[in-house]
Amino acid sequence: MSFNLGEVLAHTLSPDQHIREEATKHLEVASKDNFPAYVVLLCQELANEQAQPHIRTAAGLALKNTLVAREEHRKEELTQRWLAIDPNNKAQVKQAVLNTLASPDLKAGSVAAQVISAIAAIEVPRAQWPDLIKILLDNITNTNSTNLKQSTLQAIGFICETIDPEILATQANQILTAVVTGARKEEPSNEVRYAAITALHNSLEFVRENFEREGERNYIMQVVCEATQSTEVQVQTAAFECLVRIMQLYYDKMGFYMEQALFKLTIFGMNHEEEKVSLQAVEFWSTVCEEEIEIAIEAAEAVEFGEQPERFSHNFARIALPQIIPVLLNLLTKQEEDADEDEWNIAMAAATCLSLFAQCVENDIVSLVIPFVEGHIRNPDWRFREASVMAFGSILNGPAAQLLEPLVAQAFPVLLELMNDQVVQVKDTAAWTLGRVCDSLIECIKPDVHLNSLVSALVQGLTDSPRIVSNCCWSLMTLSEQLGDDPDADTYALSPYFEGVITALMRITDTSNNEANARTSAYEAISTLVTTSARDCLPIISQLSVAILDRLDATIAQQNQIIGIDEKNNHLELQSNLCAVLTNISRKVGKEIAAISDRIMTTMIQLLNNSGKQSTILEDIFLCVSAITTSLEGDFARYLESFSPFLYSALQNHEEHQLCSIAVGLIGDVCRALGEQVLPYCDTFMTLLVQNLQSSVLHRNVKPNILSCFGDIALAIGGNYEAYVNVSMGMLQQACSMTVVQTNSYDMIDYINQLREGIIEAYVGITQGLKSGDKVALLLPHLEHIFAFMGMVYSDSERTESITRSMIGLLGDLSEAFPGGQIKQLLSASWIATCLKEGRSSRHSSAATREVAKWAREMVKRASS
């Protein structure tokens, strides 16, 4: 390779964007020209002790980036590229990065640890590099080099984080021994101890067997608890992080340790002067509450179904309440005057924890918090004033409404008064707390008593600083959501205020910036008010639609004047917000949108013409067109010819899978709206959908929707679907075979269920469509496979109720389509009677499932007689 690698790597770190981009391109070209030579050069640069530290770091990061990617298809490409390298080259790279772990340059050692983890993620699951873990463990036990120990422990931590725990389970004992040894208080190096505790944190998931053994568990807990008392802040912080993870994974085993140590240690940690430590100690109690909330939900579900709960609560939160709540209340007063609201701090963490305690222990928290609120809500020190309001707002979700109602009634006038406080933080929290009242305790808001003063205060807040505007917008949203529970009502409590609120919100949105997300919050509030409003607000919504469209057209006119990335992103966000409001207006007014639909579609097509394939606004445009389609039904046909090229383009945009998924859904909307009018477009639709199913680039989550879309097309065009029966049945058969997978992965189980649901929905639509066109006989050659697929799905204990209901519906549709005994033999399978009985009488079945099962049973009976 005829270039100076060190110089190019240095340029990747340049503050000059142009130089950085050129250097990155140079590396990409080198990577493509001769990948094996490229990675060898990079590893040599990383291992070179004579090279400058920043060059070594850049080489290591470039090497890691040849091995890892977020997108699945890209990840697979990089994996195959690495596996294709000559074994000698791979061995050279691996030896170089292993040697670099001992480097005096700790940054080089740390980057080498990342590279080792990246290679391990590819090779270890394929039973390659079998001696890796042994080599790493020897590094820890057979050396006095602090740097080698530290970097090796980092490598082990990264490996534990990236590789499936089941793959490493056979080496769990050796890994655990090594990391616990490094984490002990006897370890002289705090850096090694920190790396060891971090590695322990990452390995906790696959040492489950060790945690089952009391002696080993005691030793691990002792080492972690001792680390919380270290004088080194990063060691303490990592130890508390470890305790958080242990509580998540091994809650059931924590009773003894809570009594003996954890309770006192975490109170000590919460009061620590270093915020990093106190944040993790607070997070520990948040985790306790989350676990106990989950256990309570599981127990309630078990009672509902007459079963024994699998887990029982130790009630740690309830027992600790008197000691923990005062600490949290004190931490609420630790606000920073100029705090960035996007930056997590101890006051925020304490408020979140308090909220979780309220959900967990419910009524028991009220008597411990209210004296603090009453004692400080008028405190001259703004920190105590704000903390008291935050404490009150944080406990509104959990305790019984009857207990909170008199307290809210008492606090309400004070909260309104605090909306005019001199301190912005107090006003901000008062606005948020009013939103919490609207969200959780709407019954406390008496329209004739409170609504006028509440709406006035929130609208007044819209003229304040951007962060207060955002909370006032949220409060108005929740208020409208709670009061507008019937969107078809003639009027609702906010109707008298609707025009004034919309006008105030539109005034907020008429700004060029989006500080504190205020403009976006205002548009979201407008959308919610539109969605939840009553019929008497429709004239105002009609005026609003024209105003929004005017603004959207103005943004198109300004497009060529936009310069700079930030300005462009701000402009695109504004256009997205405007499209979202138009979407909600269209859904609300239904067919009435026809009055301006020509103008809307003209604007949407202009936006599409101005947008690139990766533009963030594309999804919002398609969602808006989807709403127009649903509202106009058959009248949308006049727009399809000019819009369809953009729809085709989105379907072919496999890299942008969210957009592609929306486009697939839009085909379904078009089919439902247009019926047989969609026929001229179906050849292209089917061709593109089949290509998408065969694509290795398109994200797998889009594919269930594509299969379901076959059913939408069939329902729309009826007997004309004959032209697509064989190709769609072939694709469905392939998809069926992909769902026969043995797995314990929740993600994979969820995906398989989505795929099965998509397949069943396709079969339902195709059956009904062909039946409506008297072409149902075309299904006969495929019925045996369809029934075999349903039998396989029924035998899977992981199937959802939704799948069961869809499958019962398909049984009914097939029986109705073939009433003359043609499928009598197929319907005699024993699982069918069992499935129908389960649908009708299982306590797990919803009313909808029972109804479908009752109908399907009649259809099956007729088809079997």
Q: Return the closest-CA partner of residue 530 out of 506, 559, 514.
A: 506
Q: Are 438 and 475 in contact (CB under 8 A)?
A: yes
Q: Which residue has the higher pLDDT, 28 or 386?
A: 386
Which position has the token pair 């072409």? Answer: 775
| Cα–Cα dist 186/179, whole Å | 13
pLDDT digits (tens, 9 = 90+) for 147-163: 999 999 999 999 988 88
Q: What is the pLDDT of residue 3?
A: 61
DSSP string, 467-504: HHHHHHHHHHHHHHHHH---TT-S--TTHHHHHHHHHH
Q: Would you state the pLDDT for residue 312? A: 93
* Alpha-carbon gap, residue 101 to 274, rounded angstroms: 31
- Nearest 5°: phi and psi at 613? -65, -25
Task: Determine the average pLDDT of the residues in 239-259.
Answer: 95
Written as six digits, the tokens of 166 are 């089941």
pLDDT at 248 over 90: yes
The mean per-residue pLDDT over the stretch 473-491 comes to 92
**Backbone angle region of 498, left / alpha / beta, with phi > 0 → left and psi within -120 to 50 → alpha:** alpha
Assigned token pair, 545 = 């639609």
- For residues 723-738, one letter each, b for 16 or more C-beta atoms within 10 angstroms of the residue's C-beta and e for the rest, the string is ebbeebbebbeebbee
Residue whose tokens read 């600490």: 327
Q: What does the pLDDT read at residue 740? A: 76
Query: Residue range 377-394: average pLDDT?
Result: 96
- Residue 612 pLDDT more than 70? yes
Tokens of 29: 């070209």
Q: Cα separations (Å) of 821 from 389, 825, 831?
A: 71, 8, 19
**pLDDT exceeds 60 at position 335:** yes
Query: What distance, in Å, lies between the first and last C-alpha atoms of the chain?
Result: 78
Q: DSSP label at 14?
A: -
**811-838 burial: b if 16+ Cβ within 10 Å, else e:** bbbbbbbbeeeebeebbeeeebeebbeb
For the chain, domains (ranges, CATH) are: 1-130 (1.25.40)
DSSP string, 436-447: HHHHH-GGG--I
> Per-residue confidence at 562, pLDDT binned at 50, 70, 90?
confident
Q: Give the Cα separation of 765 and 810 in Å (integer).
A: 9
| Rounded mean pLDDT, 646-652 | 94
Of 114, 112, 153, 156, the residue nearest 133 (C-alpha) = 156
Is 314:255 a contact under the CB 8 Å cutoff?
yes
The yes-or-no verdict on residue 262 having pLDDT over 80 is: yes
What type of residue is 360? C
Cα–Cα distance for residue pair 766/764, rounded to 1 Å:
6
Dihedral through CA 87, CA 88, CA 91, CA 96, nearest 10? -150
Q: How confident is the model at residue 301 (pLDDT cuts 50, 70, 90)?
A: confident
Could you give the percent of the chain with pLDDT greater than 90? 70
With 80 as the cut, is the pLDDT of residue 725 above it?
yes
Q: What is the mean pLDDT of residues 327-348?
A: 87
Query: How far is 433 from 475, CA to CA, in rounded Å?
Result: 8
The 3-class SS string of 205-252 reads HHCHHHHHCHHHHHHHHHHHHHHCCCCCHHHHHHHHHHHHHHHHHHHH
Q: SS3 of 263, please?
A: helix
Q: What is the pLDDT of residue 680?
A: 95
> Between vectors from CA 71 to CA 67 and to CA 75, what angle results, nearest 5°?
30
| Residues 372, 391 contacting (CB under 8 angstroms) | yes
CA–CA distance, 455 with 493 (Å, rounded to integer):
11
Sign, CA dihedral 800-806-810-811, equals positive
Q: Dig out the tokens for 458 from the structure.
A: 């929130």
Residue 770: per-residue pLDDT: 96
Q: Categorize the per-residue pLDDT at 251 as very low, low, confident or very high, splitting at 50, 70 and 90.
A: very high
pLDDT (0 to 100) of residue 746: 79
Q: Which amino acid is at 417?
A: E
> Which pair of structure tokens corresponds to residue 288?
């306790």
* SS3 (DSSP) at 695: coil
Whole-number mean pLDDT of the chain?
Answer: 91
This prediction has a pTM of 0.84
Span 12-20, mean pLDDT?
A: 81
Q: Which DSSP letter does residue 741 get?
A: -
**In contact, 624 and 599? CB cutoff 8 Å:** no
pLDDT of 614: 67
- DSSP track, 531-555: HH--GGGHHHHHHHHHHHHHHHHHH
Q: Evaluate whether 203 touches 153 at the Cβ level (below 8 Å).
A: no
8 Å CB contact between 66 and 39: yes
- pLDDT of res. 748: 84
pLDDT of 1 over the 70 cut: no
Q: How far apart are CA 495 and CA 184, in angstroms?
A: 66
Q: Are 783 and 823 in contact (CB under 8 A)?
A: yes
Q: Looking at the predicted structure, is the pLDDT value of residue 213 above 80? A: yes
Place of tokens 């090796």: 152
The dihedral over CA atoms of 461, 463, 465, 466, expressed in degrees to the nearest 10, equals 90
Nearest to 271 by CA among 225, 324, 222: 324
- What phi and psi values does residue 333 have, to the nearest 5 degrees? -90, 5
Residue 683 pLDDT greater than 90, yes or no: yes
Q: Is the pLDDT of residue 741 over 80?
A: no
Residue 663 and residue 506: Cα distance in Å, rounded? 30
Length of the chain: 865
CA atoms of 377 and 411, how far apart (whole Å)? 9
pLDDT at 743 exceeding the cut of 80: no
CB-CB contact of 97 with 112 (8 Å): yes
If one compares 845 and 535, the residue with the highest pLDDT of the two is 535
Three-class SS state of 764: helix
d(CA 183, CA 163): 22
Q: Read off the pLDDT of each residue in 412-419 and give the average, rounded to a whole number.
A: 95
Report CA torsion sign: 81, 87, 88, 90.
positive
Which helix (H) or strand (E) segment holds residue 577: the answer is helix 565-589
Give yes or no for a contact between 44 and 96, defined as CB atoms under 8 angstroms apart.
yes
Of the candidates 410, 416, 427, the residue with the CA atom closest to the CA atom of residue 463: 427
Q: Count CB neighbours of 409 within 10 A.
A: 13
516: left (phi over 0), alpha (psi -120 to 50) or beta: left
DSSP code per residue over 135-182: HHHHHHHS---HHHHHHHHHHHHHHHHHS-HHHHGGGHHHHHHHHHHH
* Residue in 65, 59, 60, 67 with CA at minimum distance from that of residue 8: 59
Mean pLDDT confidence for 304-321: 89
